[in-house]
């Protein structure tokens, strides 16, 4: 079967890999000149298989006024006269129930553990060098309330195969001495030893090379998709500036650009973009940079050592 994958970020490339291994003829089409030029370029770098609980949960609603009004809120939400934003917002609020959150977490944990196993198989088979560090992850808390909620989530996820442990402040500092300057404001942390950190962009570049050289995947770089053409209830072609690209099946891995492609087909994807920021800082002092991936639960900031660089996102 001929399959066209739209998007050469980490999702599209991994889909192309799985399809090529299954014997399909795969083409990846990407509007940028190479892989990982957008959301996969410099993200947080954490492979967090046990951190899948949705943001939409019963404890979120009280935080919404702060997200709307506080200039220093870790999450900012700016209402606009945008029907897509309001549809997404209402769907988000409907999902903020305990039952919905628990069911979503159960499903995502199963999917995440499958992703972990497939990722490790891919790395072993392809030998891609992308600064993968299996150092674990530590989420630190500065309030008793958030730490208690995190411990409840640990207990729930343990029933579904997640391996985590709650640490007091002393244990957090023993695990990661680089946290000592902020020790007075810590109340504890959640340690997940099986988590990893890596350079997503290097992974994507290495995987795109492997796909082209060893798996026969073709790439169309610098080729934006203007429209999807459907006939008989199925997508038949992707329209580009150079003409129509036909295939038997299509994988839409275009991230925030996906809804604009499906809307003319009558399909409204419940996606809305979230803007993030990251810094990549060269490590000058080995003792000052964390070796474990660290997340500040209150500020929603992650710190990951990736090779000789500290990624802050």
pLDDT tens over the chain, length 313 residues = 999 999 999 999 999 999 999 999 999 999 999 999 999 999 999 999 999 999 899 888 887 787 777 778 877 888 889 998 999 999 999 999 999 999 999 999 999 999 999 999 999 999 999 999 999 999 999 999 999 999 999 999 999 999 999 999 999 999 999 999 999 999 999 999 999 999 999 999 999 999 999 999 999 999 999 999 999 999 999 999 999 999 999 999 999 999 999 999 999 999 989 889 999 999 999 989 999 999 999 999 999 999 999 999 9
- How much is the pLDDT for 221? 99
pLDDT of residue 61: 81
Q: Where are the domains of the chain?
A: 2-41+201-265, 46-57+97-198+275-312
- Supply the pTM of this predicted model: 0.94
The pLDDT of residue 304 is 97
What b/e string do you get for 183-196 counting C-beta neighbours within 10 Å, with b at 16 or more? Answer: eeebbbbbbbebbb
Q: What pLDDT does residue 75 have?
A: 78
Which homologous superfamily does the CATH classification assign to the domain defined by 46-57+97-198+275-312? D-Amino Acid Oxidase, subunit A, domain 2 (3.30.9.10)
Helix/strand/coil (H/E/C) assignment for every residue in the chain: CEEEEECCCHHHHHHHHHHHHCCCEEEEECCCCCCCCCCCCCCCCEECCCCCCCCCCCCCHHHHHHHHHCCCCCCCCCCCCCHHHHHHHHHHHHCCCHHHHHHHHHHHHHHHHHHHHHHHHHHHHHCCCCCCECCCEEEEECCHHHHHHHHHHHHHHHCCCCCCEEECHHHHHHHCHHHHHHHHHCCEEEEECCCEECCHHHHHHHHHHHHHHHCCCEEECCCCCCEEEEECCEEEEEEECCEEEECCEEEECCHHHHHHHHHHHCCCCCCCCCCCCCEEEECCCCCCCCCCEEEECCCCEEEEEECCEEEEC
- What CATH number is given for 2-41+201-265 in this structure? 3.50.50.60
Instruction: State the pLDDT at residue 293.
Output: 98
């Amino acid at each position: 079967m001929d399959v066209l994958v739209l998007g050469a970020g980490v999702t599209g490339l991994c889909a192309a890999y799985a399809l090529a291994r299954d014997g399909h003829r795969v083409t990846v089409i990407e509007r940028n000149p190479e892989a990982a030029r957008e959301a996969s370029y410099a993200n947080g770098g954490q492979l967090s298989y046990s951190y899948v609980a949705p943001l939409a949960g019963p404890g979120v609603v009280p935080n919404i006024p702060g997200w709307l009004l506080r200039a220093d809120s870790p999450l900012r939400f700016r209402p606009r006269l945008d029907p897509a934003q309001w549809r997404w917002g209402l769907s988000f609020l409907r999902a903020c129930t305990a039952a919905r959150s628990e069911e979503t977490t159960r499903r995502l944990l199963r999917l995440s553990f499958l992703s972990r196993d497939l990722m490790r198989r891919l790395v072993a088979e392809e030998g891609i060098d992308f600064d993968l560090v299996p150092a674990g992850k530590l989420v630190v808390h500065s309030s008793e309330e958030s730490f208690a909620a995190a411990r409840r989530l640990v207990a729930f996820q343990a029933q579904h195969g997640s391996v985590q442990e709650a640490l007091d402040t002393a244990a957090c500092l023993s695990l990661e001495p680089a946290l000592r300057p902020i020790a007075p404001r810590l109340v504890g942390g959640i340690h997940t030893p099986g988590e990893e950190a890596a350079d997503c962009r290097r992974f994507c570049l290495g995987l795109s090379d492997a796909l082209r050289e060893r798996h026969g995947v073709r790439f169309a770089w610098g080729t934006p998709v203007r429209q999807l053409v459907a006939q008989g209830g199925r997508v038949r072609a992707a329209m580009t500036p150079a003409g129509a690209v036909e295939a038997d099946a299509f994988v839409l891995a275009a991230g925030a650009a996906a809804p604009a492609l499906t809307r003319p087909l009558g399909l409204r994807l419940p996606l809305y973009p979230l803007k993030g920021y990251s810094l990549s800082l060269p490590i000058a002092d080995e003792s000052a940079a964390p070796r474990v991936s660290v997340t500040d639960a209150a500020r929603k900031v992650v710190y990951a050592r990736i090779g000789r660089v500290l990624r802050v996102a």
